[in-house]
């Protein structure tokens, strides 16, 4: 790990939202009820932002996830078949307009889509890959297990994994080349991938939500570290009480939750940021305030 003591390769971290969605309360907080019960009869809905994290690195802009495609609201053929469309209407409600595209939101944040050099995709659900067509020059990093799942014979589209909108022409997909972890600060994670080669952005596997799910540790010299966890959880506090969402492999989720909590013990000031965190902007603002005070 090459951590520069005198110059931080990361100059800013921010969050943009490519619209919002509504999910069932049971989806977010978990339930012992059968999935078909809450999907069709659940009446409590929670509004969730569709966040993309933007990291300004000295070597270019890096994204964690790519948000949702506004076509979900405008394209009658967005879902590949009537059965998938039927289920999706009962599982999520979307609130996404044309100005919620990845390109527009990056512009509003002071960047452009052309500035993006790399994007780490936490997992292949469509609300995390929706903007990849807008960043054709960027390398797209994800775990090989996710691609294997997407190419499988078990109707992944009915779980919001859409191959025809993921393996698009020209997309520069890269399978994450995990290597054994040699950094004690990252224990108990046994594998890692140093995205930029300087230790500032480190990807670790956090399976459980969907095959190939990953998180990314963001380390800056004078600010609290950040852990971007995708959909491992929908709220940080749920990690501390092993409260799992309704979707996912509970055994794998429990193991990933435990590893994140252990990482938090090693890094007490660690800020954990789920993909759909309502408080993401406030948390990042607080971390930036810590940076200013540190300087």
Query: Contact, 43 vs 101, CB < 8 A?
Result: no
CA 221 to chain centre: 23
What is the model's pTM? 0.95
Across the range 105-114, mean pLDDT stands at 98
H helices of 53-93, where?
A: 71-74, 82-91
Fold of 10-294: Metallo-beta-lactamase; Chain A (3.60.15)
- For residue 272, which phi and psi values (nearest 5 degrees)? -100, 125
Q: What residue spans define the domains of the chain? A: 10-294
Vertex 152: Cα angle to 151 and 156 (nearest 5): 85
Q: How confident is the model at residue 4 (pLDDT cuts 50, 70, 90)?
A: very low
Helix (H, G, I), strand (E, B) or coil at 41: helix
Which pLDDT belongs to residue 293?
40
Across the range 216-223, mean pLDDT stands at 92
* Arithmetic mean of pLDDT over the chain: 94
- Cα-Cα-Cα-Cα torsion 38, 17, 270, 233, nearest 10 degrees, comes to 10
Tell me the β-bridge partners of 46. 23
- Whether residue 100 has pLDDT greater than 50: yes
- Whether residue 52 has pLDDT greater than 80: yes
Could you tell me what percent of the chain has a pLDDT over 70?
96
Across the range 241-258, mean pLDDT stands at 96
- Whether residue 228 has pLDDT greater than 90: yes
Query: Contact, 117 vs 141, CB < 8 A?
Result: no
What six digits make up the tokens of 295?
Answer: 């300087």
Q: How confident is the model at residue 290 (pLDDT cuts 50, 70, 90)?
A: low
Higher pLDDT, 289 or 104: 104
CA dihedral (110, 115, 121, 122) positive or negative: negative
- Whether residue 170 has pLDDT greater than 90: yes
Q: How confident is the model at residue 72 (pLDDT cuts 50, 70, 90)?
A: very high
What six digits make up the tokens of 129?
Answer: 């890959």
Which pLDDT belongs to residue 6?
60
- Whether residue 295 has pLDDT greater than 60: no
């Amino acid at each position: 790990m090459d951590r520069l003591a005198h110059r931080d390769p990361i100059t800013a971290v921010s969050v943009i939202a490519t619209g919002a969605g509504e999910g069932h309360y049971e989806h977010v907080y978990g339930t012992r009820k059968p999935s078909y019960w809450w999907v069709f009869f659940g009446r409590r809905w929670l509004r969730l932002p569709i966040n993309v994290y933007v990291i300004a690195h000295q070597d270019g802009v890096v994204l964690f996830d790519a948000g949702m495609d506004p076509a979900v609201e405008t394209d009658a053929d967005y879902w590949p078949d009537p059965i998938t469309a039927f289920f999706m209407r009962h599982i999520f409600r979307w609130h996404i307009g044309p100005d919620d595209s990845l390109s527009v939101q990056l512009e509003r944040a002071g960047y452009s889509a052309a500035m993006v050099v790399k994007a780490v995709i936490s997992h292949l659900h469509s609300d995390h890959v929706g903007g990849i067509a807008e960043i054709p020059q960027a390398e797209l990093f994800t775990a090989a297990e996710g691609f294997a799942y997407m190419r499988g014979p078990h109707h992944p589209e009915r779980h919001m994994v859409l191959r025809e909108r993921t393996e698009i022409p020209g997309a520069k997909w890269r399978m994450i080349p995990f290597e054994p972890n040699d950094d004690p600060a990252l224990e108990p994670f046994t594998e890692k991938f140093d995205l930029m080669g300087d230790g500032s952005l480190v990807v670790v596997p956090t399976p459980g939500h969907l095959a190939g799910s990953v998180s990314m540790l963001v380390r800056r010299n004078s600010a609290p570290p950040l852990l971007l966890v995708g959909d491992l959880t929908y709220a940080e506090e749920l990690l501390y009480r092993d409260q799992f969402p309704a979707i996912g492999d509970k055994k794998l989720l429990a193991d990933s939750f435990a590893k994140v909590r252990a990482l938090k013990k090693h890094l007490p000031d660690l800020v954990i940021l789920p993909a759909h965190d309502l408080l993401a902007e406030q948390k990042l603002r607080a971390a930036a305030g810590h940076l200013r005070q540190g300087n």
